[in-house]
Structure 1
Amino acid sequence: MSLNTGKMSLDTVNTLTDLQYWSLTNELSHKVIYIIGALVVVSFLVLSITKKLKIPGVVGYIFIGILFSPGVINNLPVFSVMQKEWYGYLIDSFNYITVLAVSFISFTIGSELSIRILKKLELEFALIVLFESLGAFSLVTISLLALGKPTSLALILGAIASATAPAATVLVIKEYRAKGELAATLLVVLAIDEALALIIFSFAEPIALINIAPKLELTIFNAFFIPLAKIIGAVILGLNIGYFSQKLMSYYHNKSKKILLLLSSVLGVSALALALHISPLIANLSVGFAYRNFSKKHLGIAEYMDTLTTPLYAIFFILAGTHIRFNSVTSESFLILVAIYATARIIGKVGGASLGAWLSDAPDKVIKYIGVGLLPQVGLAIDLAYTVQREFVHFSVGGYKFGVLVFNVLLFTTAITEIIGPLLTEYALSKTGEMHS
């Protein structure tokens, strides 16, 4: 047994050595710098243009990302076949940017949640999140079943539909320095929505997997207790690191130390969460929550976060746009599936959020506009789609590979929601008079 283990380790070392040699000879690091440099320059130009046009910067980032997608680049004759292949490979290798960006976004949302506000608006938040998440899940699942789609596909797409990406909405709120009941409610709803979407997906995925692979056995342990333990573990990890981090920061007055400690907290908890196979999103949400509620004095980290995350968010949204590949649309049945999914999700999100706000006797402007800030999906939904690709790699549905079909549906609808979502959020904040920039 030990000999086999040693041989496997030696084989792995040889493989890594070959990979390292290949990376050096092909100047892989240089090519990565080329693309990152181009993205940073483009993000600066995009922000300058969107400011002049008075539209949210995220819309420009997504649009430029679509223009920089491999599907578009592959149709340009100015690049060689080798250059196009390298470009596609490198773009797909930037998945860690998604984890980093969503981790910082989760921290930001958590830092906006005060226990005082949660106690004051507890019923309002609970009903809005419950109705908008379950509304999207139920409507998408039932609509796809009525369309004749397999139960496994309907459950997975319904679960992913319940997720709302906070990144675009949070960026619009920060960009316009929005303050008020709608902006505060959106931040809290987005934070709780992440956790609920993960719970819904954790229940739906094993059921869908068993439905498509009957040999697997569904038990209460793997369908309920394991997902619940992971969520509780992420919360405990984040609260502990957040508590000690803010405690340490309260003694620092040096800006460099504060920035390094902030980076260490967010990146450190993300690394630990990934190593423990728990959610870095929920863990960082808990770190931000600890910063807001455990600190006895104002730490002044908002300015540092803005400085640190501006280039990260810009690159994140551009890369998100590059994943939206319209050449994946190849049939009428696919377009019908996308149309049903998008329509059912929008109705479920907007209608469910407004119903929950109305039932909780929320302010009129929250009832009217809360739903339009919950449409974007890039972030958690893409992470869930990657999970589906890994777990359902051996299964197909309707002539498509299961994971590829789910991913393409998500990316196509994202092209719509990531552009109209921020514009609608800006409109809502403008109509409620909560924009201050």
Structure 2
Amino acid sequence: MDIYIFLFYLSITLLAGFVFGKLAELAKVPEITGYIIAGVFLGPSILNVLNVEALSSFDVITNFVLGIIAYQIGTELWMPKVRKSGKSIVTITSVQAIATALIVFAVIYLIDGRLWLALTLSAIATATAPAPIMVIVKKLRAKGPVTNTVIPVVGIDDMFGVIIFGLFTAIAVATIGNEALSIHNAVIEPIIEVLLSVGVGSVLGIILGFISRFFIHRLPKKEKYIAYLVFSLSSVLLAVFIAHTYHLSMILTPMMIGMVFTNLVKKEPFEIQGAALSNFSGPLIIIFFTLAGAQLSLSVLKSAGLIAILYIVLRTIGKIGGAYLGATIAKSPKVVRNATGFCLLPQGGVEIGMLVAVSSIFPSGEAIFIKTIVLAGILFFEIVGPIIFKITLEKVGESRLTEHHQEA
């Protein structure tokens, strides 16, 4: 695509997303929902302004913004804070992931009978999209036990998702005779992907922390702002490049940069880089979610049928029930037990990446059927998930934006 035509599409995407976001805000729903709806209108389903060719040109921007969001999740994982609830976070994450996978697998296999379908859908159902969660947390300036639980849970959830997806899809492919099942495909490859993603991200985080401590620290305060923005963005760009080139996790790699960095620096550099990145990423967030909406197909709803409805209902039950069970086992406060599951419903970036993998490892007929069902689920969870998350944070009193309006 010609670069100037690309810029034209970019301007339309940004403007439409912004306008629909403000309309959504007036309707008392998250701006993210407005961005996604704008994308649905612009995409092939309705106006076809952003056609399939145009959308494929935006892949690099989508991955870059996903990297920024993952990096911001990492910066929230300050170890002294995480240690206070470290065991409970691991327990909640693992229990809700396993519960979701088991519920989706058992019911769909019982009703449909196709093992490969039940395995693949149950694996994809475990993942949670971090992007809408982080954007709403920043927007509401949310703080409290639920927020402090949800952010690390979403971060760790990607590790579980990658491993479960690798294991289940390897078994699923073997059941339809595409290739022989092996321990290497089912277990070793996904674990290596996670370990390499963590390792590469950690090394880049150490380098960023070293630069902060021995170079940026000496600059005047105004120059620190630009310096942190430059080095943070450069590290994310490098992480996205490495993840894409060597098939690592687009979320785990930049997330580890943020996590390692935030634990190597003092409060002032942490706050400066956070402010710099937040101000820069605003328009990119609008583009990211508008493009996510454009990729959703309304026609999918007609063809997905009963299995898609089951997938949506069962994933919802698994996330809410699993998080409640995990929090109960971990002896978390009542508010965490009751609210965490409702915060884990959004889907999007990670799942779309899994669908790309589905296209390459399954025969075309099975791949299309899986993608149809999951895209119907993503359409639902991308629009409804952020709304439920926002309402939950406001209901438990962790939205500081609500408090600010009330005081005003």
Query: TM-score, normalization: structure 1?
Result: 0.86
Secondary structure of the 1:70 match is coil
1:242–1:160 Cα change, 3 Å: same
Please, which runs of 5 or more residues in structure 2 have no aligned partner? Answer: 402-408
Stretches of structure 1 that go unaligned for 5 or more consecutive residues are 1-22, 75-83
- Does residue 1:352 correspond to 2:326, yes or no? no
Aligned CA distance change for structure 1 residues 52 and 329 (closer, same or farther; 3 Å): closer
Aligned-partner SS, 1:419: helix
- Distance of 1:427 and 1:146 partners within structure 2: 34
1:126 to partner: Cα distance: 1.4
Q: Max radius of gyration: which structure?
A: 1
Superposed CA deviations along residues 37-64 of structure 1, whole A, max 9, x for unmatched, are 1111122223333333332110111111
Asked if 1:248 corresponds to 2:211, the answer is yes
Which of residues 136, 146, 160 is equivalent to 2:124? 160
Conserved? CA contact 2:21–2:33, under 8 Å = no
1:318 is the counterpart of 2:282: no
Which residue pairs with 1:225 in the alignment? 188
Taking the TM superposition and a 5 Å limit, the aligned residue runs for 1:71-150 are 71-73=45-47, 87-150=51-114
Confirm whether residue 207 of structure 1 aligns to residue 151 of structure 2: no
**Which residue in 2 is equivalent to 1:302?**
274
Structure 1 residue 330: deviation in Å?
4.4
Check the 8 A contact 2:120/2:168 in 1, yes or no.
yes
Quote how far apart the aligned CAs of 1:167 are: 0.9
Q: Which residue of 2 aligns with 1:402?
A: 366
Amino acid at match of 1:73: L
Q: Is the 2:70–2:255 contact (alpha carbons within 8 Å) kept by the matching residues of 1?
A: yes
State the TM-score, normalized to the length of structure 2. 0.92
| Deviation for aligned residue 1:147 | 1.5
Of 375, 379, 389, which aligns to 2:345? 375
1:228 is displaced (CA, Å) by 1.4
How far did 1:298 drift?
A: 2.7
Partners of 1:386 and 1:407 within 8 A in 2 = no
Contact map agreement 2:124 2:165 (CA 8 A) in 1 = yes
Secondary structure of the residue aligned to 1:386 is helix
Residue of structure 2 in register with 1:273 after alignment: 243
Answer yes or no: is the 8 Å Cα contact 1:323–1:411 preserved in 2.
no
1:51 aligns with 2:25: yes
Letter in 2 for 1:181: P
Cα distance in 2, alignment partners of residues 277 and 91 from structure 1: 21
Which residue in 2 is equivalent to 1:32? 6
Q: Matched residues in 2 for 1:229 and 1:34: separation?
A: 41
- Percent of aligned positions that are identical: 28
Query: Is residue 196 from structure 1 mapped to residue 180 from structure 2 by the alignment?
Result: no
2:265 maps to 1:291: no
Match of 2:198, SS state, is: helix
Q: Distance in 1 between matches of 2:62 and 2:360?
A: 17
Question: Aligned-pair distance for 1:379?
Answer: 0.7
- Residue range with higher mean Cα deviation, 138-147 or 42-51: 42-51
Return the alpha-carbon distance in structure 2 between the equivalents of residues 184 and 371 of structure 1: 14
Q: Deviations over 1:346-381 (max 9, x none)?
A: 000110001111111111111111011111110101
Q: Is the 8 A contact 1:62 1:317 kept in 2?
A: yes
- Give the conservation status (yes or no) of the 8 Å contact 2:13–2:39: no
RMSD: 1.7
Q: 2:239 is paired with a residue of what secondary structure? A: helix
CA–CA separation in structure 2 for the residues paired with 1:47 and 1:219: 47
Residue range with higher mean Cα deviation, 304-313 or 368-377: 304-313
Once structures 1 and 2 are overlaid, which stretch shifts more, 371-380 or 289-298? 289-298
Where does residue 16 of structure 1 map in the other structure? none
Match of 2:35 in 1: 61
